[in-house]
Chain A
Amino acid sequence: MKGDLCLDEIFDILNVSYSYLPGYPVLSGISLSIKKGEGLVILGANGSGKSTLLKMLCGLIHPEEGKILAFGKELTEDALRDPKFLQDFRQKVGFVFQNSDAQLFSATVRDELAFAPLQAGLPKETVQKRVTDIAQLVGIGNLLDRAPYKLSGGEKKKVALACVLTVNPEVLFLDEPTNGLDPRTQFWLVEFLQALQTAGKTVIMATHDLSIVEELAQRVIIFRENHTIAADGAPLQVLTNRQLLLEVNLIHERSHFHLGGSRQHG
């Protein structure tokens, strides 16, 4: 299978299915490929399986059926038991969780930012430098010695993003990144992710917030409520298909969603 993978394909998902409880699938026969540098947005109603797919691509859970190739190698529990592959893989992918409280488990923001590069075995001086650089970049330099429970929702999201970036991942997974953020932080996040895309990072996010799609996506995948893929294409092609958006429960009959109308540009 290795030979079939195109050079710029970083993930190849082949007929993958998964269920948390027997008889209740959350993913049914999903197949797709993801290329390097792609801005991919996975859209779908609540419970359609978007987050599960992201966790699977990040090697946190593994398919019951089908297989996933990551960077040319099959991503299995056994493959991740190889310390070298595990270390390389964890440096290549970063995951920003929907629940920042679950993601920020360290005592201080500084420890949080240092966790991933330390686990990756980087020298402590490099880690210190990366922590300072990223904190400045994201604008959380003044929060480094604060405890995560004292931060606001927007600050927590910034720290969550920063703690993933310190390991300099090639692929960034974001699960519902704009959930619960105020408009200013949402704008900041979108602009920041755009900058990361320009720098060549692959940004893959799961959301049902249509307003951010057109700003960040070069490709959109839509999940049906029966956990299969309903559409895969360019944002313009997918988001103008009102019938499809209605069918997959992303908009309501009386919704006024249209491309370019979701955001006000200054």
Chain B
Amino acid sequence: MELPNWLSEASPALCRCGCGGRRKGNFIEKTLRDIIKIIQEAVFSEEIALRPGFLQRLDARIKVISLIYLLIIVNLCAHLSLLWGFYLVLLAIAVSSKLPLRQVVARVWLVIPLFTGIMVLPSIFNWVRPGDPLWVIADFHHSLHLGYLSFPSVLAVTSQGLWGGIMLISRVGISVSLAVVLTLSTRWMDFLRALRTFFVPKIFIMTLEMTYRYIFVLVSAMEEMFLARKARDAGQSAPKEERRFVASAVGGLFGKSLQMSEEVYWAMTARGYSGEIRLLKGSSLCWSDVLVLSLVVLAGLILIAANKVMG
């Protein structure tokens, strides 16, 4: 085989003086990093769910029932002290189960106050929800009219509005914390399997399971595409070209997923799938699971009783 002359020449020597400066990471590199992060996070959260701990040992069905029950209880509680007392107990159980405290706290409290806070913000003012003024922001000395709307002369933050807002943010945050603790301590597959027991249609569960399964296959395919491009990227590509690459990568991935779906269907058909899903039964509950469920029910009842007593 005869090679063209240019193919026999040596590549240009490497410049070692660093005169080229430093190029900023482009968005392709950032996308690549994010793809790898997705895989790492999924593997890491699975690793947390496999750690030996109290919550991890519990049957997923018990955890799902407890979650639904405790969500109702938390949202029936009208006392902040009870809510936060419950939250501290939840945190203690999470820590004793080797769940990363930072993740449990940060995932919730960095996001919830912001979004829920924006929603409840108007309701803390007396112009939206009348109440006892706690902090007067402005006094206009006469009531204001805007079309058919009439506003009091004083704009103030009300104590009812403020406490209502804090209560709502607390309820939402603690409810989300419950869900975070459940998802961190339970493997996604066990969680889906638990849903099978609650009359969620089998085909729906199977579709979710397969979606989760193939996300990883497609994410890996995407990672390979981005790495292959990175391997040939000498830093000369313009943003326009990079955007074009991302668009074609999306198209390519769509084609691959389509081809894969056909192969998966064949694989299912070859093993007897004809439209009806049959699945193995989950393992039976052990006495410790039932005991924990009883304790959760009891704790919920105590919270409700305490709420009544406190008025």
Contact = CB atoms under 8 A, between A and B. Distances in A.
A105 B186 CA distance: 21
Contact of A119 (B214, B260, B273): B273
A159 B116 CA distance: 47
Interface stretch (A89-97, A193-201, A229-237): A89-97
B280 A110 contact: yes
A164 B270 CA distance: 9
B242 interface: no
B272 A105 contact: no
Contacts of A86: 272, 274
B281 A163 contact: no
Contacts of B279: 111, 114, 118
B271 A107 contact: no
B278 A118 contact: yes
B280 A107 contact: no
Contacts of B271: 90, 94-95, 115-116, 119, 163-164, 167
Query: Interface residues of B toward A: which range?
Result: 20 to 34
B216 interface: yes
A90 B280 contact: no
B280 A127 contact: yes
Among A55, A119, A164, A167, residue most surrounded by chain B Cβ atoms (within 10 Å): A119
Nearest to A163: B271
B192 interface: yes
Interface in A83-113: 83, 86-87, 90-91, 93-95, 97, 99, 101-108, 110-111
Interface residues of A, number: 41
A259 interface: no
Interface stretch (B92-100, B166-174, B205-213, B288-296): B205-213
Contact of B272 (A101, A111, A119): A119
A147 B280 contact: no
B153 interface: no
B264 interface: yes
B269 A60 contact: yes
A128 interface: yes
A107 B263 contact: no
B212 A167 contact: no
Contacts of B273: 115, 119
B263 A97 contact: yes
B272 A91 contact: yes
A263 interface: no
Nearest to B263: A102
A220 interface: no
B268 interface: yes
Contacts of B267: 95, 97, 102-103, 105
Contact of A124 (B189, B216, B281): B281
Contacts of B263: 97, 99, 102-103
A69 interface: no
Interface string B195-233: 000000000000001101110110010000000000000
B27 interface: no
Given A86-B274, A110-B280, A114-B280, A105 B189 contact: no
Nearest to A98: B263
Task: Give me the 5 closest cross-chain CB pairs, A-B, nearest first.
Answer: A119-B272, A102-B263, A90-B272, A116-B271, A149-B216
22 contacts: A86-B274, A87-B272, A94-B271, A97-B270, A99-B260, A101-B260, A102-B263, A105-B210, A106-B210, A107-B189, A107-B213, A108-B189, A110-B280, A114-B279, A115-B273, A116-B271, A121-B278, A124-B280, A149-B213, A149-B220, A150-B43, A164-B271
Given A86-B272, A105-B267, A107-B213, 10 more contacts: A83-B274, A90-B270, A94-B271, A102-B267, A107-B193, A111-B209, A120-B272, A121-B278, A127-B280, A150-B43
